[in-house]
Amino acid sequence: MTTAQQLSYDVQLTGTARTPAEREQVFADPGFGQHFTDHMISVDWTEGRGWHDARLMPYGPLTLDPATSVFHYAQELFEGMKAYRQTSGSIVCFRPYANATRFNRSAVRMAMPELPEDAFVESLELLVQTDREWVPRAEGQSLYLRPFMIATQPALGVNYPSRTYKYMVIASPAGAYFAGGVKPVSVWLSRDYTRAAPGGTGFAKCGGNYAAAFVAQRQAVENGCDQVVWLDAFEHRYVEEMGGMNLFFVFGDRLLTPALTGTLLGGITRDSLLTLAADLGLTAEEGRISIEEWRAGCESGELTEVFACGTAAVITPVGSVKGVDGGWTVGDGTPGALTMRLREELMGIQYGTRPDPHDWIHKIC
Ligand SMILES: *Cc1c(COP(=O)(O)O)cnc(C)c1O
């Protein structure tokens, strides 16, 4: 736990907020990460001074010196979470302190300053309260929140981390991920590329991990697949994760997800599903699975379902797998019963249609 620190915000509201009609136009087809709300949060950090100049301000571009270190050395990290409008009318977040903890874990790895957890959650509350009309009402829609931090020192020296940083939060209405019904994805097993190695940044939510992954994602698409699946760095044999989502393997009533060995991102959805699965009387384990076991399990019928999970798409079934040695189908290629059950349970908690026995819901307004 970081010590609580009250940031005092300078609040500057926009004079040009979008009209209700303009918002409705966005809600008609929000997509993902294309439209942004009227305001944003900005807080600066300076060595020797700590966090200062906390502002809620109109959404808009930044002006940065071309020598700003984030442009050159990618000292950057981010978080991703959603605000949901529940059936009761309340606007809530899901486990925001878990995101705060992960934000700081990433910050330590990237030699960046930590933000007190209460200040992190307070920044989300302030932005969502201000832009509450931007939280969509349609089923399955939400307001995606993107806290992030960049190194802002205008200097090219490579021997020290930046001495100044900027933390920001922006928000973007997000459509129901599977508007036309849940559709399984096909995945490509990446042998040519590695996402993360021990001692690297795999567990940190930093932009650099994504920059290095785009080429493999493109290769997946070139091979007719929707998503890339990352394997371990040494043998390209053990499954790690899928694009920006964690993977679960279902063997009847036993769930297995790759253990957090430092090379994969510890998803909050993943962590929540381990708990939910146990609540449902299923066995949920963290361990190791190779691509040979994946294939053999599907061929013998022992491995009944595979799904990916993350904040953006919640739960996505994996229908088929392809690699340089050929491909195979998971189950009959359609969404599995357990996959859909867990998806409904989790979304039920998030949207307030199911009880919340673990106090995961954090009410904002
Ligand atoms: C964010 C992310 C996830 C999913 O994390 P959630 O907290 O469940 O949204 C998984 N893998 C990667 C690489 C990520 O960046």
Query: How large is the average pLDDT for residues 271-289?
Result: 97
Is 178's pLDDT higher than 80? no
Closest ligand 1 atom to 209 CA: 13
Spacing, Cα 79 to ligand 1 middle (Å): 9
Nearest to 247 by CA among 344, 334, 321, 349: 321
Classify strands 254-258 and 239-242 as parallel, antiparallel or unpaired. Answer: unpaired
The pLDDT of residue 1 is 39
Query: How large is the average pLDDT for residues 341-348?
Result: 97
Q: Where are the domains of the chain?
A: 10-174, 185-350
Tell me the CATH architecture of domain 185-350: Alpha-Beta Barrel (3.20)
Is 31 buried (19+), middle (13-18) or exposed (0-12) by CB count in 10 A? exposed
The pLDDT of residue 4 is 45
Alpha-carbon torsion 61, 62, 67, 70, what sign? negative
Spacing, Cα 311 to ligand 1 middle (Å): 7
Mean pLDDT of the chain: 96
Per-residue pLDDT band for 3 (boundaries 50, 70, 90) equals very low
Query: How large is the average pLDDT for residues 49-56?
Result: 97
Helices (H) and strands (E) in the chain — how many of each?
9, 18
Q: Is-contact 358 281, C-beta < 8 A? A: no
Please give the model's pTM, rounded to 2 decimal places: 0.97
Neighbours of 20 (CB within 10 A): 9
Ligand 1, pocket-test mutation among 144, 146, 205, 307, most atoms within 8 A of CB: 205
Per-residue pLDDT band for 276 (boundaries 50, 70, 90) equals very high
Query: How large is the average pLDDT for residues 293-313?
Result: 97
The pLDDT of residue 119 is 97
Residue nearest to ligand 1 atom 6, measured at CA: 267
The pLDDT tens digits of the residues spanning 83-136 come to 999 999 999 999 999 999 999 999 999 999 999 999 999 999 999 999 999 999
The pLDDT of residue 5 is 52
Q: Is-contact 294 303, C-beta < 8 A? A: yes
Alpha-carbon torsion 196, 199, 200, 204, what sign? positive
Tell me the CATH architecture of domain 10-174: 2-Layer Sandwich (3.30)
- Window from 116-120, 175-179, 247-251, 264-268 with minimum mean pLDDT: 175-179
Query: How large is the average pLDDT for residues 172-178?
Result: 91
Q: Encode 82-123 in three state secondary structure.
A: EEEECCCCCEEEECHHHHHHHHHHHHHHCCCCCCCHHHHHHH
